[in-house]
Amino acid sequence: MLSDTHLGLQDAREEPFAQYSKRMAGAYVKTRHAKSGGQTSPQESFIEGIAIAQKNKADLLALPGDLFSFPSEANVEWAAQKLQESGLTWLYTAGNHDWHYEGMEGTSQALRETWIQKRLLPLYQGSNPLISFRDINGLRIIAVDNSTYEILPDQLDEFRRLIRAGLPTLLFIHIPLYALGRPLGFGCGHPEWGAKSDKNFTIERRPKWREAGHTQTTMDFHREVLASSNLLAVFAGHTHSPSLDLLNGIPQVVSDDNASGGRLDIEVLPFS
Ligand SMILES: [Fe+2]
């Protein structure tokens, strides 16, 4: 799994969008590798991650969001080409930066829809961008887009259908689910999430989080995940800091960011 690569590639086609991508374009140009301490970059880290997945003959490469710092054509073309050339099976879902042009007019939900359709589509390979799955070796792997921090009714319905099939399941999301005592980075289903606690809307130049806090659907999704007895684990990114929580006994693992070389090697073993 590679999360939060934060590719920031741009070319002449991006010029009309520079006013919206300027801050994030400068955010992860050169990074320090979390393991080696040496200088690296999002591109190098992504290529390294793909090479490790190939070497390990990974059944799936999970990409749960913030692959990009903004949805430039150069970003999407580069990543889609690397993935296609890799021969790996991959499962991508968006993070809050993948579709976000800072300062662009529109709600998060509308901007997500627009930039998925205009730019990100090749990464989904025909799957539903908001919730998709793969069944591999008896294991169900579900990716749910919670990059607006919220879950839509259709996503909840489809999640229920997929999880209630009863297969052992892994869930990939971008924003970690709220876990007791965790800050707002664990913002999907967090009881304090909402306009009053939103500190970053100015710097990220976006509408404030919802006045009334999470929708009932988002809270129901959180409850549904925690009540899923066949869910083996939840994997997320977003915080750029590795962590492990137990959600009603289900492990939620947050990966270090791939921008600085982070990755998760996930091995699922049968009971014997
Ligand atoms: Fe990120």
Encode 227-253 in three state secondary structure. Answer: CCCCEEEEEECCCCCCEEEEECCEEEE
pLDDT score, position 61: 98
Nearest alpha carbon to residue 31 among 46, 53, 13? 46
- Which DSSP state fits 127? S
Around ion ligand 1, residues with a beta carbon closer than 5 Å are: 4, 66
The Cα 241–Cα 65 span in angstroms is: 14
Confidence at residue 119, expressed as pLDDT on a 0 to 100 scale: 98
CA of residue 249 to ligand 1 center, whole Å: 26
- Residue 26 Cα to ligand 1 middle (Å): 14
CA angle 83, 29, 259 (to 5 degrees): 50
The CATH number of 12-260 is which of 3.30.750.180, 3.30.70.270, 2.40.10.340, 3.40.50.300? 3.30.750.180
Task: Output the CA 5–ligand 1 centroid distance in Å.
Answer: 7
Q: In angstroms, rounded to a whole number, what is the distance separating the alpha carbons of residues 93 and 174?
A: 7
- Report how far ligand 1's centroid is from the alpha carbon of 6 (Å): 7
Q: Which residues pair with 132 in a beta bridge?
A: 143
Indicate the domain borders of the chain: 12-260
Spans of the chain, pLDDT less than 70: 272
- Tell how far the Cα of 109 is from the centroid of ligand 1, in angstroms: 18
pLDDT digits (tens, 9 = 90+) for 193-209: 999 999 999 989 999 99
Ligand 1 centroid – CA 241 distance (Å): 10
Q: What is the pLDDT of residues 242-272, one digit of tens each?
A: 999 999 999 999 999 999 999 999 999 987 6
Element (DSSP H or E) covering residue 135: strand 131-136
The pLDDT assigned to 31 comes to 82
- What's the 188 CA to ligand 1 centre distance in angstroms? 15
Structure confidence at residue 243 (pLDDT): 98
* Residue 158, C-beta contacts closer than 8 angstroms, at least 6 positions apart: 128, 131
So what's the pLDDT on residue 33? 87
Q: Please tell me the distance between residue 260's alpha carbon and the centre of ligand 1 in angstroms.
A: 11
Name the β-bridge partners of 92. 63
Distance from Cα 271 to the centre of ligand 1, integer Å: 34
Q: How many angstroms does the Cα of residue 257 sit away from the middle of ligand 1? A: 7
Q: How far is the CA of 201 from the centre of ligand 1 (A)?
A: 15
Q: What spacing in Å lies between the alpha carbon of 272 and ligand 1's midpoint?
A: 38
The two three-digit tokens of residue 195, written as one number = 């306009």
In angstroms, the CA 159 to CA 112 distance is: 20
What is the per-residue pLDDT for 35?
A: 83
